[in-house]
Structure 1
Amino acid sequence: MDERIRLRLDVSYDGTDFSGWAVQPNRRTVAGVLVEALDLVLGAGTASGLTVAGRTDAGVHATGQVCHLDLPAAVWREHDGLLLRRLARLLPGDVRVRAMTEVATDFDARFSATFRRYEYRVTDAPWGAEPLRRRDTLAWPKPLDLAALNAAAAGLVGEHDFAAYCRRKENATTVREVTRLDWRRDPDGILVATVQADAFCQNMVRSLVGAMLVAGDGRRPVQWPGSLLSRRERSSEVTVAPAHGLALVEVGYPTDPAGYAGRAEVTRRLRVPVAEG
């Protein structure tokens, strides 16, 4: 069998016109577009095993997505140094591969990850979102209080069962450890939530944001989002925030490549699916 090498791809995309990451029949997806471009450059099926760190849903963006794939070593030697620019010419403008790096064969974009960090952008300006940022910024119809948003966020940090905020999947845990959750208001007035965890279950980040926003505008007490953690099933009171305000901005990995396999083994024991927030 030909020797194969593993590549790490760092990917960015505007999720507006994609039906999410994962390949779906008759739908435009990030993985589908990426595989199509790779097949054109390398030959159909030459790249295999495309695996992503976080399967983002329709409309969700990424500035720091990570995936891996395997190539015959001879093909990589032939295209090394040229492949990135060839992909840039073929890929549509709403998805970019920003880096391609040869990594150890036990690197797993999904299971070797130590954390995923998302940001959610909201404007409470009375005129709404600026036209150039309307694709990645939610316009909120009421004034938002930064202190209230951060007070609501504080009650959600730590390891909890986030069943109230997740779309449950069979045989998958809803226990997650949120290591960072806070809000800031940038100089342009935009409110940005930063949410970091070892992993997220489906719709979790947008559900957390939806709960915090109604605390931030005063319709719910700041203790309310945290109080829902006592529930063991999805809460119908929580509105999932729209997808377009959310972006995956970073995926973390062990600093020592020797830790890839160990981290992957731990992650597989902890949970089955890793999905978009």
Structure 2
Amino acid sequence: MTRLRIDLAYDGGGFFGWARQPRLRTVQGTIEDALHKVLRVSADDADDPLRLTVAGRTDTGVHASHQVAHLDVSDAVLLRCVGHMEVPAVDALARRLKAVLPPDIVIHQVTVAPDGFDARFSALERTYVYRVADRSSEADPRSRGFVLRVDEALDVDAMNRAAAMTLGLHDFGSFATPNPGGTTIREVKNAYWRRIPAVPLVPSGSDMGESYRTPSLESGLLVFTIVADAFARNMVRSLVGSCVKVGSGRKSLDWFADKMAHPVREGSSGPIAPQGLTLEHIAYPPDEQLATRANAIRAVRTLP
């Protein structure tokens, strides 16, 4: 068996999340169907199941500019995709996947994974970014698929004071739901809000003239970046929604602090709309530490 690493991106707007679901269009289901087609394997073949393991399961409507998955496939099955192409089997698989997948999924690369690699459990950290156009932003209608429009002026300083409370190891039970047998304890390594400066596409002083000084697509947006070892279900969107409530003045910083101190799930700290959220980076340790990391992270975490 060969373990392959697949780096990819997708526009989540047309999917019911990552995980395969019966009769629903999902990212995993779409890619696995493509794999069965190009490798000529029946979806009901119990001897050669083509199942993806992903670094981070994204919810319905959530995007990924850099997602990572792995696939275990026998060498004999992998060779089936070569056909007339005089390229290695892994390269042939990447080419054929790119040819049959829909335009809202892009394969960056397919490589043979190093020993000990597990897309999910070997990961050191994941980075999510949430983009908001508030009343102080000049919303661009072209960005509506990946930016949430909020008709309020948001206090970035207050939102950053709330975000700072999430740093470190905490039980995020007020903002997330655990998987069966899992936990909502996570370690947040970085979390902050910033407004993207208004930077023109053509720099000042260009001889192209003022008429070409068009603002960049993200100019003026409020952007939340959060990095953690892992995320529980709905955790990022719920943190964003709670920060927005603080930034709008509808909730206080004391309210946010109480949510952090008492990890109880209830309606006031529920998830915000999904379209503003993008998974942007997965970090892994050096190859020789992959297996050790995977074994360590499988343990259920507890607070000191």
SS of the residue corresponding to residue 92 of structure 1 reads coil
Conserved? CA contact 1:10–1:99, under 8 Å: yes
Residue among 214, 225, 229 paired with 2:245: 214
Q: Which one has a larger percent strand, Structure 1 or Structure 2?
A: 1
Residue among 145, 150, 157 paired with 2:160: 150
SS of the residue corresponding to residue 56 of structure 1 reads coil
Where structure 1 has 5 or more consecutive residues not aligned to the other structure, the ranges are: 272-277
Task: Find the structure with the greater CA-based Rg.
Answer: 2
Conserved? CA contact 1:11–1:97, under 8 Å: yes
Within 5 A, what are the aligned runs for 1:162-201?
A: 162-187=172-197, 188-201=219-232
Where structure 2 has 5 or more consecutive residues not aligned to the other structure, the ranges are: 43-47, 83-88, 198-218
Cα distance in 2 for residues equivalent to 1:140 and 1:265: 42
TM-score, normalization: structure 1? 0.91
The residue that corresponds to 1:10 in the other structure is 7
**1:64-110 deviation digits (Å, cap 9, x = unpaired):** 11000012235546423232222111110111111111112421101
Cα distance in 2 for residues equivalent to 1:106 and 1:25: 31
Residue among 222, 225, 238 paired with 2:256: 225
Letter in 1 for 2:11: D
SS of the residue corresponding to residue 298 of structure 2 reads helix
The residue that corresponds to 1:245 in the other structure is 276
The 1:267/1:186 distance shift into structure 2, 3 A limit, reads same
Letter in 2 for 1:119: V
SS of the residue corresponding to residue 63 of structure 1 reads strand
TM-score, normalization: structure 2? 0.83
Within 5 A, what are the aligned runs for 1:255-274?
A: 256-270=286-300
Identity over aligned residues, as a percent?
43
Within 5 A, what are the aligned runs for 1:83-162?
A: 83-125=93-135, 129-162=139-172
Higher mean C-alpha deviation, range 234-243 or range 4-13: 234-243
SS of the residue corresponding to residue 166 of structure 1 reads coil
The residue that corresponds to 2:59 in the other structure is 57
Cα distance in 1 for residues equivalent to 2:60 and 2:51: 22
Cα distance in 2 for residues equivalent to 1:133 and 1:124: 13
Cα distance in 2 for residues equivalent to 1:47 and 1:87: 17
Cα deviation, residue 233, structure 1: 1.8
**1:19-73 deviation digits (Å, cap 9, x = unpaired):** 1111111000001110111111111155634100111111010011100001223
**1:181-200 deviation digits (Å, cap 9, x = unpaired):** 00111121111100111111
Higher mean C-alpha deviation, range 127-136 or range 32-41: 127-136
Letter in 2 for 1:122: V
Cα distance in 2 for residues equivalent to 1:69 and 1:168: 25
Aligned length: 267
The residue that corresponds to 2:206 in the other structure is none
Letter in 2 for 1:263: R
Letter in 2 for 1:195: I
Higher mean C-alpha deviation, range 180-189 or range 229-238: 229-238
Cα distance in 1 for residues equivalent to 2:137 and 2:36: 45
Letter in 2 for 1:202: R
SS of the residue corresponding to residue 220 of structure 1 reads coil
What root-mean-square deviation, in Å, do the aligned CA atoms of Structure 1 and Structure 2 show? 1.8
Cα distance in 1 for residues equivalent to 2:14 and 2:53: 21
Conserved? CA contact 1:156–1:225, under 8 Å: no
